[in-house]
Structures are given as C-alpha cells and as structure tokens.
Structure 1
Amino acid sequence: MRVTNKMLSNNFLRDMRTNLTNMSRIQGQMTSGKEITKASDDPFKSSRIMQMYSDIDSNKQYNSNIKNSINFLDTTDTALSHVGNVVGRVEELLVSAGNGTYSSEQRQAIKDEINQRIQEVSQILNTNFDGKYIFGGTDGTSKPVGTGKDTSGNDELICSTKVVGKPIDGKMTYSGTTVDANKTFSISINGEVPMKTVTLNAAITSGTTTMDQAADILQTSIKTTIDAENVGKVPTDAGYIQPVTVKATGDGAFNITPSGTVTFSEDATVAPPTPPATQTTPAKDLGLIQGSDKLLVEVSQGVTMDYNITASQIINYGTGANENLMKLLGNITSHLDSAEANDIKALTNTDLEGIQKVTTNILKLRSEVGAKQNRMESAETRNEDQNFNMTEILSATEDIDITEKTMEYATMQTVYMASLQTSAKVLQPSLLDYLR
C-alpha cells in the first residue's frame, strides 16, 4: 500500500488529538479530585456513586430524625418528672389529711392546694415542644387536657376529643364528616359491658352545624341513653349513672365531663355491610374516638420507632374502670369537702392507694421513655458509623489517587512533548527536493 504525505499528516493529527484528550482528562481529574466527571466515563461506577450519594443523604435525614426524637423524649422525661413531683406532693397532703386532729378548715386548705395541683398537672400535660403538644399523640395541635369545675365547684381535669371545628363568621362551625340523624354508635359508662347504643336525635352537618349545636345534639342523644338506664333509680342508688355534659371549646373540640366516665366506639351490634367501604363510622367521624396515638419516626431504612407518651397513658394509671387520675382527683376533693367519717377514712385508704398507683405508673412511663432514649442513642451511634463507612466507600469509588494521577499526567506530558518533536520531522523534504 502506498503511504502518502496526507496519510502521515492525518495520522499525526489524530494521535495529537488523542494525546491532548488524555492530558485534558487527567488534568480534569486532578483539578476536580474525582475519578469520574460524567456518566459516560464509567457507567457502572457512575450508577454506584449516585446510589451512594442517595444513601448518604437518606442517612443524614435519619440522623436528623433521631436527634429531634431524642430532644422530644428529653422534654417528655422532664414533664413526667414534674408530674411525679406534683403527685408526690398530693400523696403528702393525703397523709396529712388523714390526721384525725385536722379540722375541716385544715382539710379545706389541703383541698385548695390540691385544686392548684390539678391546674398544674393540666399545664404539664399540655407541654409544648416544637409547636406540638408532646402528650397529644397524633393530634399534636390540640391541647390534650383542660380544666373545669365539677358539680361541687372543685377543679377537675378534662380530656378533649380531636379538633373538628373551624372558625367561620366569628363562630366555631363543625367541619368534620357529616353524620345524619338516627345514626348510632356505642358508649361504655365506667367501663361497663355490654355497651349502650346512642342514636343521634339530629343531623350534624359539616359547614352548617355550629360546634355548640353539635355539642347539644351529642349531649341530648347521650342523655336519652343514660336516662333509659336510670329508669326507676335515684342519684343515691347503686348503679345510677351521672349525667354527661358535652361542651364545645374555642379551639374546635368537644369537652366531655365527667372525664373518664364515657368511652366511645362504633356500634358493635350492627354487622358490617358489604362491601365494607359503605360502612358508616359516626363515632370516629365526630372525633369521639381516635386512631393510633403513636408517633412514629423512621431511624433507618425500613425501621420505625414510636417515641411518645400520651396523656391517656398518664391519666389512666390502671385497667380498672375507676383507675383514672381525673376521677381520683375528683374523689379526693370531694372527700376533703365531706365531714363523713368514711370519706375522711377514704383519704388515707382508697385515695392514697390510688395516688401511689399513679406514682408507680409514672415511674413505669419514665422507664419506658428512658428505654426509648437509649435505643435512639444507639440508633444515632449506628447511623454515624454507617455514614462514616458509606463516605469512606464513596471516596474509594469516586476520588482519585493524587500520586498516581500526578505520575500519569507527567507521562502523558512527556508523550505529548515527544509527539510535538516528531511533528517537525513528518514532512522534512521541501518542494525544492522534488524539483531536482
């Protein structure tokens, strides 16, 4: 094959471009510190590097979740400590009240202090962290506990249902799911079974019925059920059911008193229709029952933890119908008001025993919070280790060996200089050489 001058020239230029491209690639790697600057350099490594970046970013978010949860648990533990201090003081006051030499005036002074302690418990259970009530469960924007007056004028704690109202035209209007008249749900009074059925005597319509009207409808409907159970009984009879009061609050919730007396569920006497999607849930629609109150946080891929304690866990210190902090404090103030020997005796018997159970429950909840804190701290340590390991793997995959690249660059520079020197000899003969 005849080799022409044009072929020599083209081959030289091609090789020069190749040398310059290699020098540019190595120079770019040295200035960026990265082995790969675009996906086409190495598709497999590029894919792995992008996945590693994604995993590291996810891990950083997990770390942020863990830190926020630890702060939340720290706040919870502090609040529980304060509740324990208040309950401990109430226990001291009950022991003092059992002194047979105490006069009614002294017991009245104790009752006044306990009323203040009830207000303090309400304040603690409404502790706010990062814009949410820490004991409010999944409904963290609504106060879990309020205070009110019982029939004797003593302070009592009140648990609210979830917010179902919104302000419209200067008043709070029901904004939950519309529930038609004659819909039924079940109630349990003081933990008794079987449950009783409540039938709504009027419709509660979203956007139309005010919260006050909705509260009146609920109260009247519940009263009808309770009155049916109280037929032939007077308030002093055993088994007589005290009336229930339902009031709307300014933040769009329902307060139901006496607290802890009535619990709600869907009507268990009605078989679910087919298909289940058509089943009505009036109790849930009205905010009378809630879903899971557990706050969950993802601490690593596919791993979630709950990290909260609810007001219900603090207030309901046992499984019995009467093991309710609200009811217990109401009994204590009632017994302090009484001059009956049995009521005074109850202060150091059933009431004191109840307060001791409350203390035990709070200690149990604090130990649960402590266990969650330990697990979160362990998760944080693992997360930091994983982040370090992934960063190390990413560096091994993505970063250059600066010594190796320096040697490669020096080699390519030598090759380039040699090619430049060669270019001077590619076409040494001139036109005059061909004219001879």
Structure 2
Amino acid sequence: MRVTDGMLVTNFLNNYHNNLEKLQKNQNMLSTGKKISRPSDDPVAVATSLRIRTDMARNDAYTKNADYAKSWLDITDSALNQLGDLLQRTRELAVQGANGTLTQADMQKMANEIEQLKAQMIQVGNTQYNGRYIFAGFKTTTQPFSEDNNSYNGDNGLIEFEVGAGGNKIAVNVPGDKVFDVDLTGTSQLLVMMDNLKSALDSGDHQAVSNLIVDVDKQMENVLAVRAEVGAKSNRIDLIQNRLQDDNYNFTALLSKSEDADLAQVITNLKMDENVYRASLAAGARIMQPSLIDFLR
C-alpha cells in the first residue's frame, strides 16, 4: 500500500482530535466532579442514576409525611395531656365535694371551677393544627365541640399518611368521639359528667358528688388509654423517620458511586492525556519533514 502525504495528514488529524477529545472529557469531569455529562457517556450508569433519583424523590415524600405525622401526633399528645390534667383537677374537686363538712358556699365555689374546667376541656377538644381541628375526624374544618351543648360535630374518620413503600400508612388523628366518650346519640358523656358534677355541687348533694367520682375515674382511664395509643404511634414514627434517614444516606452513597468522578484517577488521566496531546502536537509539527522538495534543492 502506498502511503501518501494526504494519508499522513488525515491520520494525524484523526489522532489529534481523539487525543483532544479525551483531554476535554477529563477536564470536564474535573471541573464538574461528575463522570457522566450526557447519556451516551454511560447508558447503564445513567439508567441506574435515574432509578436512584426516583427512589430518593419518593423517600423525600415519605420523610415529609412522617415529619407532618410526628407533628400532628405531638400536638395530639399535648392536648391529651392537658385534658388529663383537667380531669385530675376535676377528681380532686369531686373528692373534696364529697366531704360532708363543706359549706354550701364552698360547694358553690367548686361548682364554678368545674364550669371553667369544662369550658377549658371544650377548648382542648377544639385544638387546631395547621388550621385543621385534630379531634374532628375527617371534618377537619368543622369545630367539633361548642359550649352551647354537649354534642359532637365531627365524625370517626381516621386520617392516614403514607410513610413507606407498599402502602405503609399510619393514622395520625384520634376522633373526638373516642376521646370525649361520645355515645350513639352524638352526646359526649365526659361533658355530661361535668354538668352532672356541677349540678351536684350546686345543690350541695355530697352523696351525688361522691357517686360521680367513679365516672371521673372512667373518663381519666379512657384519656390515658387514648394517650398510650398516640404514644405508641409516635414511637413508630420515630423508627420510621430513622429508617427513612438511613435510606436517604444509602441512596446518596449509591448515587455518588454512579455519578461522581474519582478525582484522583481523573487528575492522573488528565496528566497522561496532556502528555499524549503535547506529543501529538510535536509529532504533527514534524510531518512531511523532510519532503521530496528538500532533496531536490
């Protein structure tokens, strides 16, 4: 095969452009820190990265739901704690009111305090989180309790948040009918008990007050049971949040392995490519030297 001057120049230019392309690729990896700048660089790695990013986006959504659920449960636990304190004070007054040595004036003062305790219980029952009533079931925009009557205006709906793959959901709310012991007629037996206790104190009926202590204890046990349930859910959310945090760390590590360049290796390759590029330039400068014209001179 006869080697022509055109072939030498063409081969030189092809090799020159190949070396320049390798140099540019390593310079791009060094400046961006990524080993993939377009899908054609590594189609398999790009597909893997897309799957990982999809998993990370889904994990972020679960994390936000878990954080929101945790806040809701914390608000609920705080409200139940207040309700428990109010019932504890109610019981103290009932025990005092059952003492037959108290005067009618003393009984009246305690009746007035019971009235205020009931008003505070209703306020706790109307606790809101992010503009939504936490004890109203699905009717989060409807005030569940009012001071006009002892009826419950919410429902028994459970609001669930998805906090994991495979339909992993958790109910974050406790309907008010469960907390305030609402019967089939929609009447809160807890609030009715407060009215009965106030009436017994107003009338100075020590025996009636004494009989109501059992009802107070029943309501306290109910609130404690509900609070224990909320606490168990809160603990579960803590575990879910820890797992989601670990998953996010693992996804980040996998994404880094798939996309991030090994800077030490890139710098080494870049230095080698620079040397090859310089050598190709030097070789190109010597093409066609000497030429046939040089021999004819």
**Which residue number corresponds to residue 142 of structure 2?**
142
**Which residue number corresponds to residue 398 of structure 1?**
259
Change (3 A) 1:15 1:92: same
Measured in 1, the distance between the counterparts of 2:2 and 2:65 equals: 74
Q: RMSD in angstroms over aligned alpha carbons?
A: 2.4
- Give the superposition deviation at 1:322: 8.8
TM-score (norm 2): 0.90
Unaligned 5+ runs, structure 2: none
Contact 1:295/1:308, CA 8 A, preserved across alignment: yes
Is 2:213 aligned against 1:348?
A: no
The residue type paired with residue 85 of structure 1 is D
Matches within 5 A, 1:9-408: 9-148=9-148, 156-161=149-154, 290=155, 293-302=157-166, 303-316=168-181, 324-338=189-203, 344-349=206-211, 351-408=212-269
The residue type paired with residue 68 of structure 2 is N
In the TM superposition, what whole-angstrom CA distance separates every residue of 1:157-176 from its partner, at most 9, and x where no partner exists? 33225xxxxxxxxxxxxxxx
Unaligned 5+ runs, structure 1: 149-155, 162-289
Higher relative contact order (CA 8 A, sep 6+): 2
Structure with the larger helix share: 2
In the TM superposition, what whole-angstrom CA distance separates every residue of 1:193-218 from its partner, at most 9, and x where no partner exists? xxxxxxxxxxxxxxxxxxxxxxxxxx
Measured in 2, the distance between the counterparts of 1:137 and 1:429 equals: 94
**Which residue number corresponds to residue 269 of structure 1?**
none
Change (3 A) 1:15 1:35: same
Contact 2:181/2:190, CA 8 A, preserved across alignment: yes
Measured in 2, the distance between the counterparts of 1:113 and 1:331 equals: 14
Measured in 1, the distance between the counterparts of 2:51 and 2:11 equals: 42
Contact 1:122/1:157, CA 8 A, preserved across alignment: no
Contact 1:317/1:357, CA 8 A, preserved across alignment: no
**Which residue number corresponds to residue 6 of structure 1?**
6
**Which residue number corresponds to residue 207 of structure 1?**
none
Describe the SS at the equivalent of 1:146.
coil
The residue type paired with residue 97 of structure 1 is G
The residue type paired with residue 83 of structure 1 is L
Q: Percent identity?
A: 33
Change (3 A) 1:113 1:415: same
Contact 1:317/1:358, CA 8 A, preserved across alignment: no
Describe the SS at the equivalent of 1:157.
coil
**Which residue number corresponds to residue 282 of structure 2?**
421
In the TM superposition, what whole-angstrom CA distance separates every residue of 1:375-417 from its partner, at most 9, and x where no partner exists? 1111111111111111111111111111111111111111111
The residue type paired with residue 336 of structure 1 is L
Describe the SS at the equivalent of 2:27.
helix
Describe the SS at the equivalent of 1:145.
coil
- Give the superposition deviation at 1:364: 1.0
Count matched residues: 296
- Give the superposition deviation at 1:31: 0.8
Measured in 1, the distance between the counterparts of 2:163 and 2:269 equals: 44
Contact 2:145/2:152, CA 8 A, preserved across alignment: yes
TM-score (norm 1): 0.63
